[in-house]
Amino acid sequence: MGDLIMQPSNLKVSPKYSESKEMYLKALVELDVFVSPTVSRLANRLGVTQVSANEMVRRLTDQGLMIHTPYKGVNLTKKGRQLGNNVLRRQRLWECFLYDYLKVEWSRLYELTCNLEHNTPPEVTESLAIYLNNPAQCPHGQPIPTVDGECKSLKGIPLNQLGIGESASILSVTESPLEVVEHFSQQGLLPGKHITLVNTTPLQGPLTLQVGQAHIALGLQMAEQILVKRD
Amino acid sequence: MGDLIMQPSNLKVSPKYSESKEMYLKALVELDVFVSPTVSRLANRLGVTQVSANEMVRRLTDQGLMIHTPYKGVNLTKKGRQLGNNVLRRQRLWECFLYDYLKVEWSRLYELTCNLEHNTPPEVTESLAIYLNNPAQCPHGQPIPTVDGECKSLKGIPLNQLGIGESASILSVTESPLEVVEHFSQQGLLPGKHITLVNTTPLQGPLTLQVGQAHIALGLQMAEQILVKRD
DNA sequence: CCGGATAATAAGGTCAACCATAACAATTTT
DNA sequence: AAAATTGTTATGGTTGACCTTATTATCCGG
């Protein structure tokens, strides 16, 4: 009898080759803002042991996607960076959709789109981009890479490099764990907002900012995650 | 230095436990329309060997999701059916979105959403449902299960059970491999369309239908995939 | 009721991604 | 320069989800 309905083409159960691979590539793109991350930073970011990360890095190196210089760090090759940027493009487009259309909470965006990105075929990605009107940034202010895997980085400075009394507007915040991002959100530290650096304290101490009318204290590490542009 | 950006909570690389599991559950829900499918039908549908399917069925049986009566077929337990329906809900909602908003080709919907469904967290699913205005059917005419895993099946008959001269309208077509579904689309055999059975031929031969002004021949197996409701 | 098709089980294997533990190498700190 | 810290490699597991190649069990049609 009607075995027509068998094997709907891509019903492939298994080949999830590379879901992990994509995570590694993405993590690398995200991490190497200023310096190439070491394997342990990577491992840490991905929530795996260093040994596992090392293994994976070796495999990806074999595939010509990255280069590991021991004790120095891991660098993406051109091909690797492109792939990583593609992943990021997918995720950030989804973030736009979830935020602007589905009204998902800002601080949960990263978390919720973090696995949607895999399994998003190119056709869908590009239709989505058109639907969203080709946004340039995700709700965190991060640039969305182009179809061909290019990504021009933001020209801004970390908030902690502002001088006292200087005003600036927030360009982006780094995708971070929920608690951190939730804190940003509660303090109104969102892309586009204007802030003024009121004060700093020595010994890695907190900064004082003015956001709107309010004065808030912000830890140094948090401040490093915020990219601003002087007014 | 700023290791704040480490470990964005769910950045879990590995635990893709269950992507396969979901496929099995979904396939079962899709297949057991009239009779419980045997393991080999399942295997066939999923594109794996019977041995693999057997193994997996055993595992899922152990988890209380299905019951396998040798030589009779596999049945979902209540829990299993609910889970399967959840998967189907996610996929069908995505199908609606891709079709209505992203303007994706009708015949590619199943294929393109087929892996999107995993990794769609409940929050996103439900926000999407609201955004889409809680549709009752996917673009194939299949019912969309409710949040709690219920799914009332369509009350219709397979097209081949019509009598000669009878008219009916198409309720749904079964999600099938690309070639099949493409053929449906080319012949205008889409949900909502009106058809009249003009003729039948013996020995599993094709049926002749009138669709709009045109007369078309349709293989019996294809006809079995189309559910209609007499006018 | 027998023989061939179909279905199920058995046995042993592969591969990707993980893990822990331990040793070794480089760098930094004291 | 020794000690402490951090980074890398080696070794040997585990697990899920596949695979192939038998062998055995059941069903169904002549």
Out of B48, B111, B120, closest to residue A10 by CB: B111
A160: nearest Cα among A212, A217, A225: A225
Tokens describing residue B201: 């031929």
From the alpha carbon of B16, which nucleotide's C1' atom is closest?
Answer: D16
- Chains A & B: contacts with CB separation below 8 Å: 165
Angle between helices B78-100 and B19-31 (to 10 degrees): 90
pLDDT of residue A1: 43
Closest CA to B181 of B99, B121, B118, B122: B99
Q: Do A175 and B16 touch (CB under 8 A)?
A: no
Phi then psi for B143, rounded to 5 degrees?
-70, 145
So what's the pLDDT on residue B21?
94
Query: Is residue A8 predicted with pLDDT exceeding 80?
Result: no
- List phi, psi (to 5°) of B164: -65, 135
Instruction: Say if residue A2's pLDDT is above 50.
Output: no
Q: pLDDT at residue A14 above 80? A: no
Amino acid present at B197: L
Write the pLDDT tens digit of every residue in A201-230: 887 788 999 999 999 999 988 898 999 999
Residues of B in contact with A49 (CB under 8 A): none
Model pLDDT for residues B84-133, shown as the tens digit of each residue: 999 999 999 999 999 999 999 999 999 999 989 999 999 999 999 999 99
Element (H, E) at A61: helix A50-62
Q: Which of the four pLDDT bands, split at 50, 70 and 90, describes residue B151?
A: very high
Q: Does residue B42 contact residue B29 with C-beta atoms inside 8 Å? A: no
| pLDDT single digits (tens) B195-220 | 999 998 887 788 999 999 999 999 88
Optimal mutation site among A3, A13, A181, interface B, most CBs of chain B within 10 A: A13
Residues 170 through 229 of chain B touching chain A, CB cutoff 8 Å? 174-178, 180, 221-222, 224-225
Is A57 in the B-facing interface, judged by CB distances under 8 Å? no
pLDDT tens for residues B174-191?
998 888 899 999 999 999
> pLDDT (tens digit, 9 = 90+) per residue, A42-52?
999 999 999 99
What is the average per-residue pLDDT within B125-152?
A: 97
> What's the pLDDT tens digit per position in A67-120?
999 999 999 999 999 999 999 999 999 999 999 999 999 999 999 999 899 999
Query: What band does B52 get if pLDDT is binned at 50, 70 and 90?
Result: very high
Give the per-residue pLDDT at B231. 84
Average pLDDT, chain B: 90
> With an 8 Å Cβ cutoff, is B152 touching chain A?
no
- The pLDDT mean for chain A works out to 91
- As a whole number, mean pLDDT of residues A190-197 equals 96
Among B46, B187, B205, residue whose Cα is nearest residue B114: B46
Tell me the residues of chain B between 120 and 139 that have a Cβ less than 8 Å away from chain A.
120-121, 123-124, 127-128, 130-131
Q: For residue range A27-66, list pLDDT tens digits in order.
A: 999 998 778 899 999 999 999 999 999 999 999 999 999 9
CA distance readout (Å), A186 to A106, B57, B226: 11, 47, 53
pLDDT single digits (tens) A106-164: 999 999 999 899 999 999 999 999 999 999 999 999 999 999 999 998 899 999 899 99
Delineate the domains of chain B, giving CATH numbers in brackets. 19-76 (1.10.10.10), 89-150 (1.10.10.10), 157-230 (2.30.30.90)
Phi, psi of A56 (to 5 degrees): -65, -40
Q: Which of residues 25-84 of A touch strand D (CB under 7 A)?
A: 38-41, 50-51, 54, 58, 68, 70-73
Residue nearest to nucleotide D15 (CA to C1'): B17
DSSP A177-231: -HHHHHHHHHTT--TT-EEEEEE--STTPPEEEEETTEEEEE-HHHHHTEEEEE-
Q: Is B15 on the interface with A (CB under 8 A)?
A: no
CB neighbours (10 Å) of residue A72? 11
Cβ–Cβ gap A6/B114 under 8 Å: no
Residue B51 CB lies within 7 Å of the nucleic strand D: yes
Q: Are A28 and A39 in contact (CB under 8 A)?
A: no
B118 token code pair? 């995993």
The lowest-confidence range among A7-16, B25-34, B55-64, B121-130 is A7-16
Give the whole-angstrom CA distance, residue A28 versus residue A118.
Answer: 16
Distance separating alpha carbons of residues B192 and B173, to the nearest angstrom: 11
Classified as helix, coil or strand, A74 is strand
Tokens 């210089």 correspond to: A69
User: Do A229 and A168 form a contact (C-beta atoms < 8 A)?
Assistant: yes
- Burial degree of A178 (CB within 10 A; 0-12, 13-18, 19+): middle
